[in-house]
Amino acid sequence: MKKMMNLLCAACLLLSGAAAAMPAEIAVYAAETAPTSGTLQGGQTWSFDADGVLTISGTGEIKECYTSELPWTDQIKTAKKAVIGEGITNIGGNLFNGFSFMEEISIPETVTAIGSDAFSSCMNLAEIKIPDAVTTIGDTAFIFCYKLANVSLSKNVTSLGRGVFAYCRGIESINVDAANPNYCSVNGVLFNKDQTELLKYPAAREDTAYVIPESVKIIGYLALEGSMALADITFPAGLERIDTYALNTTKWLEDRQAESPFVVVNGTLVNAENCEGDVTVPENVRKIGNWAFYKSKVSNVVFPENVVEFEENSFYNVRTLESVTIQNPDCKFPDGYSGFPKEATIYGQSGSTAEAYAEKKKYQFAAIGTAPEKPAATGDFDGNGTVGAEDAQDVLNVYAEIVADNDPKLTDAQKKAADVNNDGAVDATDAQFILIYYVENSIAGNPTTWEQLLRFTT
């Protein structure tokens, strides 16, 4: 409290033009709040000089910590250069986070890992040499490094986190050593090695069109973000997933939003942030993508039967949402999905996956009919889409109930799934067949049809 009062007094004196009359103890405290040297948690020493150069010396790993815990927060706006000494092996997460005036950083060849957000918001950093010894670069390590122009990764970088170069609006090219086993670059665009995932398209490119290779299945987190020159994007036919904000702040997205509030790529709704009020999702949508409705102001949304799947956080932070109506009784929800606000009501069919999801996540559910009974799949007694040892055990339990003259109360679908040999009875033989089918297909790796199995065993 005393220190706080001293600071308030100092501010008042400065504002009144009486800085020269500042008490000695206040002046001493002001100096103490901006130390010029010290020791980090990992034992390394650090010092600032009058030219704004931060020098870190020592050996081993610089531990990750919150930005507010760093000892040099008072020098963030004056630091121009950082020199990391030989012997340091790990640049901890957040170490240089927020050094917005930092123009140069020297990293020694002893460094093997760069932590998450290590250089986040170093907005004046135009270039950096990543040592050949570096094997791991954490999530968003260089995010918001606006002036970073060209980046090279050695053959030893085998692990890149999500969004390592996100919001690096000045990047023109990302180059990867051809011998790198996990990553590659094609004309300066960063991919994983087999080019099934596009990781980062250089935002400063002036090309107006880009054809994504047909091999690409995933467009990664913030992969094309910030590419304002890019108006024409050709997507591969086999594209399976577009990660969060992958297309944001592109000319392509801007143009699509001008055409419709629903932006759809290969059947995935990737952006609906311009939607308001009550809306019905178009018939060309099969999947609701990550953060699709983020920033929207929708109230009630109807998802027709053509929508078969939701990805994570489709309605993240949409506080206006009152209800969703899910007409597909078999719609898929990811295990960790938490996109709907808790106040929203889910409308769906009784016995549907929407009802099961609402019950699991404790949402209010209202029925709009009953889901049709699913066709019986041979051997899949529990109806989870696979034939397993659990199905064999369940059928054996049913047989035990029948032997004990108890009615197992099976549905027609369960009877059809259990009676695998079609002899009109559910018994131990059916359970045995189910177990053999499971072992052959799932354990032994011998693809076997029911027809082959029943012919072989009869």
pLDDT, one tens digit per residue, over 95-112 is 999 999 999 999 999 999
pLDDT exceeds cutoff 70 at 223: yes
Core vs surface per residue 329-356: b (16+ CB within 10 A) or e = bebebeeebebbeeebbbbbbebbbbbe
Given this model, what pLDDT does residue 3 score?
A: 38
Q: Which helix or strand (DSSP H or E) is residue 417 part of? A: helix 412-418
**Does 183 or 342 have the greater pLDDT score?**
183
Answer with the residue of higher pLDDT: 406 or 370.
406
| Distance of alpha carbon 321 from alpha carbon 442, whole angstroms | 43
| Collapsed DSSP state (helix, strand, coil) of residue 363 | coil
Q: What confidence tens digit (pLDDT) does each residue in 7-29 have?
A: 333 334 333 443 334 444 433 33
User: DSSP 3-state assignment of 299?
Assistant: strand
Rg for the chain, CA atoms, rounded: 30
Residue 172 Cα to chain centre, angstroms: 24
And the tokens for 401?
Answer: 């109930």
State the average pLDDT for the chain: 88
Query: Would you state the pLDDT for residue 34?
Result: 64
Asked whether the predicted pLDDT for residue 322 surpasses 80, the reply is yes
Long-range contacts of 125-131 (CB under 8 A, 24+ apart): 126/170, 130/154, 130/157, 131/107
Provide the pLDDT confidence category of residue 451 given band limits of 50, 70 and 90.
confident
Write out the two tokens for 257: 């939003």
Residue 92 near residue 61 (C-beta atoms within 8 A): yes
In the chain, what's the furthest Cα-to-Cα distance? 104
Which amino acid, one-letter code, is at 206? E
Q: Quote the pLDDT of residue 102.
A: 93
State phi, psi for 26 to the nearest 5 degrees. -70, -45
Note the pLDDT of residue 427. Answer: 93
Rounded to whole angstroms, the Cα distance separating 331 from 337 reads 13
pLDDT tens track for 244-298: 999 999 999 999 999 999 999 999 999 999 999 999 999 999 999 999 999 999 9
The pLDDT value recorded for residue 286 is 96
Rounded distance, CA 275 to CA 103, Å? 42
The answer, yes or no, to whether residue 140 has pLDDT greater than 60, is: yes
Burial class (CB in 10 A: 0-12, 13-18, 19+), 10: middle
Question: How would you class 269 by CB atoms within 10 Å of its CB: exposed for 0-12, middle for 13-18, buried for 19 or more?
Answer: buried
For residues 301 and 14, the model is more confident at 301
* Segments making up each domain of the chain, as ranges: 1-33, 260-372, 389-457
Average pLDDT over residues 103-123: 96
Alpha helices (H) along 1-50: 2-15, 24-32
Report the pLDDT value the prediction gives residue 385, as an integer from 0 to 100.
79
104-124 mean pLDDT:
96
